[in-house]
Amino acid sequence: MTKSVLIFGAAGQLGVELVREFTARRAQVHPFTRRQIDLTDGAQVQRAIEQTQPDLVLNAAAYNMVDLAEQDPAGAYAVNALAVRSMAVACRQFDAKFVHFSTDYVFDGQRRVPYTENDPTHPLGAYAVSKLAGELYAQAYLDALVIRTAVVFGPGGRATPRGNFVETMLKKAEEQKTTGKPLLVVNDQTASPTYAPWLAARTADLVDLGQTGVFHGGGEQAVTFYDYAQLIFRAAKLEVNLQPADERQFRTPARRPKYSVLRNERMRALGLAPMPNLENLITEYLQGQ
Ligand SMILES: NC(=O)c1ccc[n+]([C@@H]2O[C@H](COP(=O)([O-])OP(=O)(O)OC[C@H]3O[C@@H](n4cnc5c(N)ncnc54)[C@H](OP(=O)(O)O)[C@@H]3O)[C@@H](O)[C@H]2O)c1
């Protein structure tokens, strides 16, 4: 196990699980949150890595506001691409290994079978372009490990302002009690929701195995957001008037892939455990509420 680990984005959904997982595996963990560091300032990034002298840097920070990124592409690029470049440059300089997280949105969703690590990328908007640029920067200066994930949910999402899809659905169910209006959820976008504690554990496994290059780390269970909402309400034992909708009823500033299920081809080849059943994990998540 790596001895000293610096974690950027340590207060995010995935970040809190990485802190927990690497601490449990007896690493000396140095968590950095936005309160301590603005990652768009390259000098601050360099200083954090220089002062900590970690064996490994993990970057779980991101500008995740997919629609806002269309009005603020430079803001998304600063966090998702240029900050990653600062990290990679400093990791090379101070001989640290580097792990960075990316997204299923690097794909355009034209296929109907899960995407593997070898499939060509074609991002559809400012957020997705910035994340793909981050992947390239991560790998431009050293042999980084890049893990693409999707629709992340985890206990950290209960405390963060943006939360996650589970929290959004629970809030909408509560609102429905007063509005009485049906809850419309898109049924023509399919992805593979991913449980952050599982992803953190697989990340530590990949680090232990000395892996580099691009890996997929998604939940692998293909669901539309409507299906996902149904699973959430069933696990939460909530009666909700839920209705399927299509993307045209929710025209958002950003285009999104219609299908972005990830197949974890390289993890499978290494014999790493796939994510357990999604509904059981939603139940586990809800039990922690
Ligand atoms: N969430 C998803 O559904 C999803 C889907 C696909 C891929 N991913 C990828 O998975 C990784 C982890 O995502 P997540 O769900 O854990 O995201 P998250 O909960 O939104 O956490 C991201 C963290 O990054 C921090 N951050 C943003 N800009 C920063 C800056 N300029 N300086 C310092 N910190 C900054 C945020 O701080 P603030 O909260 O203060 O802004 C937040 O704590 C990311 O690479 C993301 O792109 C996520």
- Flag whether 184 is in a domain: no
Q: Which atom of ligand 1 is nearest to the CA of 14?
A: 16
Please give the pLDDT value at position 171.
95
In CATH, what number is assigned to the domain containing residue 209?
Answer: 3.40.50.720
- Flag whether 127 is in a domain: yes
- Flag whether 76 is in a domain: yes
Count of CB atoms situated within 10 Å of the CB of 117: 16
**Which of the residues in the chain have pLDDT under 50?**
none
Please give the pLDDT value at position 269.
98
Cα-to-centroid distance, 8 and ligand 1 (Å): 10
Helix (H) or strand (E) holding 183: strand 183-186
Ligand 1 touching residue 66 (CB < 6 A): no
Total domains, the chain: 1
* 127 is known as an active-site residue: yes
Catalytic residue (choose from 63, 77, 115, 127):
127
List the one residue out of 180, 55, 36 whose CA is nearest residue 45. 36
- Flag whether 58 is in a domain: yes
CB 259 within 8 A of CB 104: no
- Flag whether 250 is in a domain: no
Please give the pLDDT value at position 124.
97
- Flag whether 243 is in a domain: no
Ligand 1 touching residue 130 (CB < 6 A): no
Q: Which domain holds residue 199?
A: 4-155+189-223+255-287
Ligand 1 probe mutation, 19, 34, 66, most atoms within 8 A of CB: 34
Find how far residue 279's CA is from the centre of its chain. Answer: 19
- Flag whether 173 is in a domain: no
Please give the pLDDT value at position 130.
98
- Flag whether 98 is in a domain: yes
Ligand 1 touching residue 149 (CB < 6 A): yes
